[in-house]
Amino acid sequence: MTLFDQILKARGLEGEARDLFLSPSYDAKHDPFLLPDMQAAVERLVKAHEKQDKITIYGDYDIDGLTATTVLLDAFESFGFSHVDAFIPNRFVEGYGLTIDAVERIAQTGAQLIVTVDCGSLSEKEIIRANELGVDIIVTDHHNVAPIQPPAVAVINPKRPDHHYPFIDLAGVGVAFKLVQALQTRLDGLPVGHEKWLLDLVALGTVCDVVTLVDENRANVYWGLKVLAQTRRPGLKALMAVAAVEPEKVNARSLGFGLGPRMNAAGRLETAQYALDMLRATDSMEALEKAQQLDALNQSRRADQDKIFKAAVIQAEQYLDDPVLVVSHADWNHGIIGIVAAKLLEKYKKPTYVLQEMGEESKGSARSYGDFSAADAIRASDDIITKGGGHKLAAGVTMPTKNIEAFRRRVNEFYRSKDLFNQAALLLPKEDIIVTKFSDVNELLLKELEQLEPCGNGNPEPVFKSENMLVMHLRRMGADAQHVKVTLQDANKKTMEFLAFNAPESFFAEPGEYVTIWFQPSVNEWQGRRTVEGRLLHLESM
């Protein structure tokens, strides 16, 4: 049995399950009308089509919301809706989701229908206000839902407890795409099969929102990557060019680490409208200008992020006894603090809330892991916050600045009440296979591993473990000597190089030591020479 076969077997992929996984079928998609309120949404949109109502797509400023907005704008244009525009809230003005002020402004434009994407499930008072103004609302979302749904025409959300949909972990763009599939049964203009050209957007939003890449998500991303490789969108072509992503080699990692950060930078620093304009661009030169603008914003974002992270580390050191970190400062841009929270989680192995103090009010982002729900901890603090919500692993919160210390106590009390055990161990890599000979980790194996794409949440890149390897050479790299490249030798005297960025001190083993490592292999190309090396995930000295 080959190493590739062993990896598939370790993941429970044998026989028919193996075949279905390696060749995902787009046609195995689920019936969109199994989603709650889909029928009501379609009826209202058919009516809007007949009357040519003015429709506003209400998006969100992250990639999931931006791609979902573009999916509906493109599809509605194909269906023949004549009066459709988009409203993307500004993180620094409206904040996340529907707001009463935005609803009132949209109503003043004469809109008769708002279709939300990636938001709206908890927007009861905003939807009530829209109804008072004579504006109907269709919600398409995938975030947490209320016990009783808001009074919208439809609340399409696979997480509703009354759903009959077979797969609940669609991204926001995935839910919007299901609405398109449902409308195809009633409206002309987008023949069945032609909606596949929207899958480049679906793949981008799905990967970057870090939902599980299984079931329908896997099929959508699998085929979406093929569409992206030959995308018709000048904006995505330009974005791949500035991100140095070769279209024929595009994979899920390209989206998550290349395209995604550049698009998100617009909403983090200024306005996500720049990213939407890039996606919607029809002229190649305009698209390139927009993509270059996003690239420049992303460089600024990285510089600001580094400054905030260094300051946050200094503050975090004061709370090392807390199982949950809560840090805050007035100078920290709340468009960036979510990334900083993720970096602090990685460094301290603790759920983390990072807030920007904005006078009397503070806004924060949370990142968590394991069995601790960032969103549930926020819900347990309802009496001392202004608003908040999100997912188990990522959430947002707004509160009076004076309540930050009380919030710190509350979330730590909530953590301790859960009696969670050995959570940090859950962050350690779990190997798919143990490799004893580096010669087995070759380009042929890497070619086979490409069949596992798209990799990500729910289908991670395979992790290899090698035990009792001799450290031959170690080199520190980076301005602060924070990166490491180590050369290891196996029992057959075969060597292989491993690289880790921002490595913890435990990774800096001395030559002559024997170590156990966890790694992911990749091909390194340098001056025409190709070598297989490892991305070092964890190292333990023997």
Is residue 292 in some structural domain? no
Tens of pLDDT, residues 59-116: 999 999 999 999 999 999 999 999 999 999 998 888 888 999 999 999 999 999 999 9
CATH assignment at residue 80 = 3.90.1640.30
Q: Give the SS3 label for residue 396.
A: strand
Q: Does the pLDDT value for residue 262 go beyond 90?
A: yes
Q: Are residues 400 and 450 in the same domain?
A: no
Q: Are residues 438 and 337 in the same domain?
A: no
Among residues 426, 451, 476, which one ends one of the domains?
Answer: 426
The 3-class secondary structure across 65-113, one letter per residue, is: HHHHHHHHHHHHHHHCCCCEEEECCCCCCCCCCCCHHHHHHHHHCCCCE
CATH assignment at residue 514 = 2.40.50.460
Is residue 363 in some structural domain? yes
Q: Are residues 51 and 153 in the same domain?
A: yes
Among residues 400, 426, 452, which one ends one of the domains?
Answer: 426
Q: Are residues 410 and 456 in the same domain?
A: no
Is residue 401 in some structural domain? yes
- Residue 481's pLDDT band, with cuts at 50, 70 and 90, is confident
The average pLDDT across 447-460 equals 94
Q: Are residues 89 and 188 in the same domain?
A: yes
Q: Are residues 171 and 35 in the same domain?
A: yes
Among residues 370, 402, 426, which one ends one of the domains?
Answer: 426
Is residue 497 in some structural domain? yes
The average pLDDT across 224-230 equals 97
Q: What is residue 421's predicted lDDT score, i.e. its pLDDT?
A: 85
Q: Are residues 108 and 185 in the same domain?
A: yes
Q: What is residue 452's predicted lDDT score, i.e. its pLDDT?
A: 96
Angle at 210 between CA 191 and CA 87, to 5 degrees: 60
Tens of pLDDT, residues 332-389: 998 999 999 999 999 999 999 999 999 999 999 999 999 999 999 999 999 999 988 8
Range of the domain at 509: 433-541
Q: Are residues 413 and 447 in the same domain?
A: no
Q: Are residues 181 and 70 in the same domain?
A: yes
Domain count along the chain: 3
Is residue 106 in some structural domain? yes
| Helices 215-229, 199-208: inter-axial angle, 10-degree rounding | 120
Tens of pLDDT, residues 27-39: 999 999 999 999 9
Q: pTM of the full predicted structure?
A: 0.91
Is residue 50 in some structural domain? yes
- Average predicted confidence (pLDDT) for the chain: 95
Q: What is residue 528's predicted lDDT score, i.e. its pLDDT?
A: 80
Q: Does the pLDDT value for residue 462 go beyond 90?
A: yes
Q: Are residues 489 and 389 in the same domain?
A: no
Q: Are residues 39 and 154 in the same domain?
A: yes
The average pLDDT across 451-473 equals 95
Q: Are residues 333 and 479 in the same domain?
A: no
Is residue 214 in some structural domain? no
The average pLDDT across 499-510 equals 91
- Residue 1's pLDDT band, with cuts at 50, 70 and 90, is confident
Is residue 92 in some structural domain? yes
Q: Does the pLDDT value for residue 494 go beyond 90?
A: yes
Q: What is residue 144's predicted lDDT score, i.e. its pLDDT?
A: 83
Angle at 525 between CA 520 and CA 526, to 5 degrees: 130
Q: Does the pLDDT value for residue 482 go beyond 90?
A: no
Tens of pLDDT, residues 40-63: 999 999 999 999 999 999 999 999
Q: Does the pLDDT value for residue 502 go beyond 90?
A: no
Tens of pLDDT, residues 280-335: 999 999 999 999 999 999 999 999 999 999 999 999 999 999 999 999 999 999 89
- Give me the sign of the Cα torsion angle 6, 12, 15, 19: negative
Q: What is the signed CA dihedral for 72, 73, 75, 76, rounded to 10 degrees?
A: 100
CATH assignment at residue 361 = 3.10.310.30
Q: Does the pLDDT value for residue 163 go beyond 90?
A: no
